[in-house]
A and B are shown apart, each in its own frame.
Chain A
Amino acid sequence: MEHFIQMIGRNMFAIFGAMALGGAAFMVASRTAVHSVLGFLFAMLCIAGCFLSLEAEFLGMAQILVYAGGIVVLFLFVVMLVEMSKKKEKEVFQLQSRYAIVAVLLGAAAFLGVFRKVLFGAASPEALVLRPELAQGLNVASQNAQAVSRGLFADYLLPFEILSVILLVALVGAVVLAKTERV
């Protein structure tokens, strides 16, 4: 029993990863858009589980909070209100399948190119730490909220703020686009 549980504990990442892949496959395969969103939600929750099994608690929770709680809700809104009859839906899917195959192949090639070294190369001897002197006195495994916040607000404050300006630009753009109809 003990041995069996330890084995499950060691392979938690693989289990959650397989479940996430299953959710993603369900999302692609299902013909109803709302079912697709549910599959996407399941995949997102499983990815949060993957982060947890790697002891990245903060990232796992941020995954649930931002993706499952925020972004997928917006998807659901859009999908729920766009009503497509069964026949129309099928036509759209069939039209897209040719381009979809090309896009998937391109994406797989790019992915493989980026991760070639990770997948086939030798493992690096030590973990990558960008500015080790900032992480001193901080147990990253048990305090990763503190570690992430130190990275964001001390080490990379300027890039972080610039990223938020980009979000602001998108927000203002959305307001401008929505306003033009009324003028």
Chain B
Amino acid sequence: MPTPTLTQSIVITLIQCLLVVIFVFVVVPLTVFAERKVLGYLQQRLGSTRIASGHVGLSGYLNKSMWKWGRIPVISYWRGIPGLLADVLKLILKEDVIPAKADKFVFFIAPALSMVAAVVVFAAVSFVPGVFFTFPKWFPYLGGLPVSGGIADINVGLLWILGVASVGVYGIVLAGWASNSKYPLLGGLRSAAQMVSYEVPLAISLLAPVVLSGSLNFGEMAARMATGLPFWGLVPQILGFLIYLTCGFAETNRLPFDMPEAENELVAGFHTEYSGMKFGFFYLAEYINMTVVAALASGFFLGGPWLLPFGLQGLVNPFLPAFLSWFGEPHAIFFVAKIIFLLFTYIWVRGTIPRYRYDQVMSVAWKYLIPMALFNLLVAAAVRCFAV
């Protein structure tokens, strides 16, 4: 296998970045659409159906006859997809209003900050161990070169992820301050307090995989958590996964923890004064953050690119028959499927659990989640000490 020169490796890295951006920009609009539809079906309505190809042709006929049979038509699962395009057009073309008394520079930089902090986390995420694909020989300039499954599989990947995620708080706080208005300021302060508090149990719950796997590298951690643990390794993972998921909901400001955007108290929270594509950046950043949290959860707890969650893969693998051997090997498809399932869980929870009160949010973090996460870390250390 040829080794790439410096320029070639930079070009390959740029291609990887492009692939990640494409992945994000395919998953995010579909999540937005799924949120409308799934939430609709959870509340016994149809979700967005207005913008569609019309009641003509075969699909229109099927639709009408299924209504006549007294069933919700299958077609209506997909109706409303063109509405996504309309949404994007609206965000781009809408007038960009800046309040007269706002701090122009900070008002401008805040959405960019939260967007960049959300995307850059993917640098340390490895989608599949080893080589993702190899360029064919005829490809100009890059023929025969391998493309690895992660952009930068650095030694301290977990710290990079946590550090950049903590920088994401600035976007929200600065947006709240720069708008020079009451509700955004209150929303920004609330969300900063909430995110800083929930970072503590989040980091502690991620320490259990670090202790169990003995590494800070994303790919290595995923591999060891999926295949290299004894039976007792399951116990700290399941509790840790639930704690992590709860903190992840709070970190991304989603229901039941969406204090910064509590409509009945704060209008729209920190982005009340934003419009046009600046608002679009916050919107995108929220959904990209959801994808990031889902990617980390599936990498550290659900077995990453392996099929089975919670380290079961390593227990099952020795008993696999030969014709099922692909079942024990990592695929990027498994990883993406787990991310999509967790994104569905976000919507599911949003449709199920009502919003907490603000003081309840704080007491959940400090009084319950942190002691539980510490106990889980203790269990993980015991497993590491006696069983691994």
Q: Which residues of A contact B (CB under 8 A)?
A: 1-2, 5-6, 9, 32, 34-35, 38, 41, 45, 57-58, 61-62, 64-65, 68-70, 73, 76-77, 80, 142-145
Contact = CB atoms under 8 A, between A and B. Distances in A.
Contacts, number: 75
A61 B10 contact: no
B159 A38 contact: no
Interface stretch (B169-177, B263-271, B360-368, B380-388): B169-177
B10 A5 contact: yes
Given A34-B177, A64-B166, A145-B155, 12 more contacts: A2-B5, A5-B7, A34-B103, A35-B106, A58-B155, A64-B159, A69-B166, A73-B166, A76-B173, A77-B192, A145-B156, A145-B216
A62 B159 contact: yes
Nearest to B185: A80
Contact of A69 (B6, B163, B185, B189): B163
Interface string B145-170: 00000000011100110111011011
B179 to A, nearest CB: 12
A169 B105 CA distance: 40
B105 A35 contact: yes
B15 interface: no
B167 A69 contact: yes
A34 B106 CA distance: 8
A48 B154 CA distance: 15
Contact of A61 (B6, B156, B169, B170): B156
A61 B163 contact: yes
B196 A65 contact: no
Given A2-B7, A145-B216, A76 B170 contact: yes
Nearest to A9: B6
B98 interface: no
A6 B9 CA distance: 12
Given A1-B7, A34-B103, A34-B177, A58 B156 contact: yes
Nearest to A142: B155
Given A35-B105, A38-B106, A80 B173 contact: yes
Contacts of A144: 155
Sort A-B residue pairs by CB-CB distance and give the 3 closest, nearest first: A69-B166, A64-B163, A61-B159
A133 to B, nearest CB: 22
Nearest to B155: A57
B196 A73 contact: yes
A70 B10 CA distance: 32
Contacts of A41: 170
What range describes how many residues of B lie at the interface?
20 to 34
Contacts of B109: 38
B6 A5 contact: yes
Nearest to B168: A69
A142 B156 CA distance: 10
Contacts of A142: 155
A70 B195 CA distance: 11
A73 B7 CA distance: 38
Contacts of A45: 167
A34 B179 CA distance: 13
Contacts of B173: 73, 76-77, 80
B153 to A, nearest CB: 12
B151 to A, nearest CB: 15
Nearest to A63: B163
Nearest to B159: A61
Contacts of B159: 58, 61-62, 64-65, 145
Contacts of B6: 2, 5-6, 9
A55 to B, nearest CB: 10
Interface string B330-369: 0000000000000000000000000000000000000000
B337 to A, nearest CB: 30
Contacts of B170: 41, 73, 76
Contact of B167 (A62, A68, A145): A68
Contacts of B196: 73
A34 B170 CA distance: 11
Contacts of B163: 61, 64-65, 68-69
Contacts of B5: 2
Contacts of A69: 162-163, 166-167, 169, 199
Contacts of A61: 156, 159-160, 163
Interface string B117-131: 000000000000000
B154 to A, nearest CB: 6
Nearest to A52: B154
Contacts of A77: 173, 189, 192
